[in-house]
Structure 1
Amino acid sequence: MDKKRVLTNFTKTKRERATRMNKHIHELVKEGNDYVVKLRRHFRAFPELGGEEVETQKKIIAELTAMGLNPRSAAGTGIIAEIKGGRQGKTVAIRADIDALPIQDEIDQSYRSRNTGRCHACGHDGHTAMLLGIAKVFSTIKEELPGTIRLLFQPSEEKFPGGALAMIADGAVEGVDAVIGAHLWQPFAVGTMGLTYGPMMASPDEFTITIKGSGGHGSMPHQTIDPLYVGAQIVLALKTITGNNVSTNELAVLSLGVFKAGDVFNVIPDSATLQGTVRTFSQSTRETIFAAIDRICGGICAAAGATYNLESHLGYPPVINNPEVAKIVAQSAEAVLGKTAVFEMNPAMVGEDFSYYQQQVPGCFMFIGVGNKDKGFVYPHHHPKFDMDENAFSHGVEIMVVSAVNLLQA
């Protein structure tokens, strides 16, 4: 038999083996769907804030232990567990964030939050349930795996500085060859998935500008240095930065959310406060924007005789997908959802501390659609009526299981 025929037969056998594995995975995901939905509803009903996920941690550990795994606590209220395959090989980590938001739940469902002022209004309840579903599938097929799957249940994603760094400090990515994660995403329709092959999510930075003037009576503005007037000029000037100082090849956003000054209609105040956010994908662009903010404040305040203080709080690094890992994830998703349902999306200007894992090992983050107008799942993330089409959970489980298997074999 010539070498060409041997190679052809080997490729055919490998492809047939992958097809059988994917079929088996699909059947297991389908069988375990009720388990995932039930868990998701439990976590929605009992949400806990970042750093306070005590009962959530207990529930996750109990579920993993029942599967025969040996989970350990990490980052305080997080969990790390491993599923070792029947053959030695690579290690792939899968991460889910488990914390909720300080929001009053307003959905009209049986699984509405029972913890006052706490709500899974971002989808982390689904992430947690999906990763437990993933654990259940891998626990069943572990003897067929050529490597190790590491499960990362991370606390405090919503609460800066996030829980990823603490997870990493506790060994989350030691010996890991690739890491993947997903966000259930309301803007995308259920049955679809989006990702990028590079920049995916931005650095969410904050800034506060405090302007000091000299107050006085509203009838005698000539005796004052009006910080409200100075602040208004700064607001207008700041809105020119991304157009005038940032390259057209770079994505960047500068937005203002707070402008506070004064308490009485006829008194010019002594001070004014501005607060806003900067979203960028590179350190050089970040530095350019903050330098421009400082320069604008300095010039306008000097001209008016006011003084200012600029405080910056740098957020998570940008989420930047590894192109090779993203390619494998995209191909895996196409096998699950179909080619037309998987697309390259525009980068989102929101932030995520999944980026810290990507600084350590090659990784890919993806958005899995949960929106469905026909069913009324239209409220955005962080809205008190946010909810998800539960059909998406099986998509997420299957996509990440298939992706992880393919990454082990890459």
Structure 2
Amino acid sequence: MKQQLLEKLTEKQDRIIEIRRYLHAHPELSFQEENTAAYIANFYKGKDCDVRTNVGGHGVVVTIDSGKPGRTLAIRADFDALPIQEETGLPFASENPGVMHACGHDGHTAYMLILAETLIEMKNQLQGKIVVLHQPAEETPPGGAIAMIRDGCLDGVDEVLGIHVMSTMPTGEIAYREGAIQTGRASFKVKITGRGGHGSSPHMANDAIVATSEFVVALQTIISRRLNPFDVGSITIGSFDGKGSSNVIKDAVTLEGDVRAMTEATRTLIEKEIRRILDGLAVMFGVTYDLDYKNDYPVLVNDVALTEFVTKSLQETAIAEVTEITRCEPQPPSEDFAYYAQERPSCFFYVGAMPANGVFYPHHHPKFDINEASLLIAAKAMGAIVADYTTK
């Protein structure tokens, strides 16, 4: 059955690419993916499956029921784009100004649609159920996963799988890791207020830029002096809004920052220390502050047993296009797939998608692109695992 599935997917490779290129040319931002959701739902019309739309917003949930007893496996693909002006020069580049599929979600959706279609065609050879999660809004907190979960997308589901294509990995390589594999994150915005004045008379003012600069420097002591050296964490200040005139002392400065951590305990500690430094800053400089701190995507933790099953399935399947299966290091970005992993045993793994010429740009770059050969690999990898899972 598995070999038949792989052969069918090979025959449909051109359709996977065609779908990917259509979606790439018609990207939509997180929480605005109305047309993409309609395209996905329309794809399943007339097919022998159950389709739920508007799940947690624009989510689409497809259930493939073999009619035989067995476990239920969910497989997830996201479909939102980013607020980036595309600079790839591709003939199928984005037709929506300022919006771009710069993370591969168009490819995720394309491979998943064709894989789901093929599983539907072969469902009499399966056992149990396959639930396809077409998820919107992965890129923007609070994310689409948590709303879909609240709307019942995991009801009856035993375990969850997901794939991300990676432009930084050679095409043909598949990477996995058990345990914590992607960071949890938080974001914050803080306004530090002093007292404005004339640049010639600093003694009559209270310079918010000086106080805020001290805060920026002090933040890095959290990483260097408050975290265990074996823990992973980072704090980035991405916006420092202190623009003014050269001879005017600013009365207020607004900062925006990003926090990443590989355990929830570390994420909690970083927040505690940020608040403590701000309290000390207020006393030290005589300023006040207004902090808006938001924890969003948790640490993504792969279930050990399920990851072992996934890697064994991949290693024992002869996928001609796969050149290497490796255990990778944890990945710094965050992923709202983590919410599924909090609810059910889950495994999230990676498929290399580096362009054939070896020239690649990182995800979220205006020149980001993928090797479309990676999409067949993703379909076959996920398909092989599904086949093993539903026939074991």
Deviation at 1:278, TM superposition (A): 0.9
Distance in 1 (CA, whole Å) between partners of 2:183 and 2:237 is 17
Query: Does 2:174 correspond to 1:190?
Result: no
Distance 1:209 1:115 in 2: 33
Range that drifts further, 218-227 or 87-96: 218-227
Q: Which runs of 5+ in 2 are unaligned?
A: none
Cα distance change, pair 283–386 in 1 and its aligned pair in 2 (3 A): same
Q: In structure 1, the residue corresponding to 2:72 is in which secondary structure? A: strand
User: How much does 1:338 deviate?
Assistant: 8.6
Q: Which residue of 1 is the match for residue 300 of structure 2?
A: 319
| Deviation of the 1:217 alpha carbon | 1.1
> How far apart, CA to CA, are the structure 2 residues paired with 1:223 and 1:301?
18
- The separation in 2 between residues aligned to 1:67 and 1:356, in whole angstroms, is 29
Alignment of 1:246-265 (within 5 A): 246-265=227-246
Contact 2:322 2:377 in 1 (8 A): no
Amino acid at match of 2:273: A
Q: Kindly report which structure 2 residues correspond to 1:290-309, keeping only aligned pairs within 5 A, or say none.
A: 290-309=271-290
Of residues 347, 369, 392, the one that matches 1:364 is: 347
Does residue 273 (structure 1) correspond to residue 238 (structure 2)? The answer is no
TM-score (norm 2): 0.95
Partner Cα separation in structure 1 for residue 193 and residue 67 of structure 2: 67
Q: Is 1:204 equivalent to 2:198 in the alignment?
A: no
Return the alpha-carbon distance in structure 1 between the equivalents of residues 129 and 105 of structure 2. Answer: 24
Deviations, residues 182-221 of structure 1 (Å, cap 9, x unaligned): 1111111111122210011111210122211111111111
Which of 155, 166, 187 is the aligned partner of 1:174? 155
Tell me, what secondary structure is at the counterpart of 2:271?
helix
CA distance in 2, matches of 1:375, 1:292: 42
Q: Which residue of 1 aligns with 2:365?
A: 383
Query: Alignment partner of 1:320: what SS?
Result: strand
Contact 2:66 2:128 in 1 (8 A): yes
Q: Which range moved further: 61-70 or 350-359?
A: 61-70
SS of the residue 1:71 aligns to: strand
Q: Which of these residues, 287, 298, 321, is aligned with residue 268 of structure 2?
A: 287
Tell me, yes or no, if the aligned pair for 2:234 and 2:259 is still in contact at 8 Å. Answer: yes
Does residue 146 of structure 1 match 2:127?
yes
Query: Residue 138 of structure 2 corresponds to which residue in structure 1?
Result: 157
| Superposition map of 1:10-409 within 5 A | 21-73=1-53, 74-85=55-66, 87-334=68-315, 335=317, 336=319, 341-372=324-355, 374=357, 376=359, 378-409=360-391
Cα displacement (A) at 1:384: 1.6
Q: Stretches of 4+ moved more than 4 A in 1?
A: 337-340
User: What displacement does 1:314 show?
Assistant: 0.9
Kindly indicate whether the alpha-carbon contact (under 8 Å) linking 1:262 and 1:271 is maintained by their aligned counterparts in 2.
no
Alpha-carbon distance in structure 1 between the residues aligned to 2:200 and 2:323: 66
Shift, 1:359, TM fit: 1.4
Q: Which sections of structure 1, spanning at least 5 residues, go unmatched?
A: 1-20
Specify the code of the residue in structure 2 equivalent to 1:41: R
Q: Determine if contact 1:369/1:392 at 8 Å carries over to the other structure.
A: yes
Aligned-pair Cα RMSD in Å: 1.7
Check whether the contact 1:328–1:406 (CA below 8 A) recurs between aligned residues. Answer: no
Q: Deviations over 1:209-242 (max 9, x none)?
A: 2211111111111222111111111111111111
Structure 1 CA distance for aligned equivalents of residues 340 and 224 of structure 2: 32
TM-score (norm 1): 0.91
Offset of residue 256 of structure 1: 1.3
**Distance across 1 between alignment mates of 2:29 and 2:134:** 14
Amino acid at match of 1:408: T
Work out the CA distance in 2 between the residues paired with 1:96 and 1:339. 21
Identity %: 36
Aligned length: 389
**CA displacement 1:47-80 (0-9 Å, x = unmatched):** 1122222221222122212433331202232211
CA distance in 1, matches of 2:120, 2:38: 20
> Displacement of 1:375 after TM fit?
5.7
Relative to structure 1, the CA distance from residue 283 to residue 78 in structure 2 (aligned partners, 3 Å threshold; closer, same or farther) is: same
Q: Distance in 1 between matches of 2:388 and 2:62?
A: 20
> What secondary structure does 1:149 align onto?
strand
Q: Which has the larger radius of gyration?
A: 1
CA contact (8 A) 1:86 1:144 kept: no
Distance 1:167 1:211 in 2: 37
Q: Give the residue type in structure 2 aligned to 1:380.
A: P
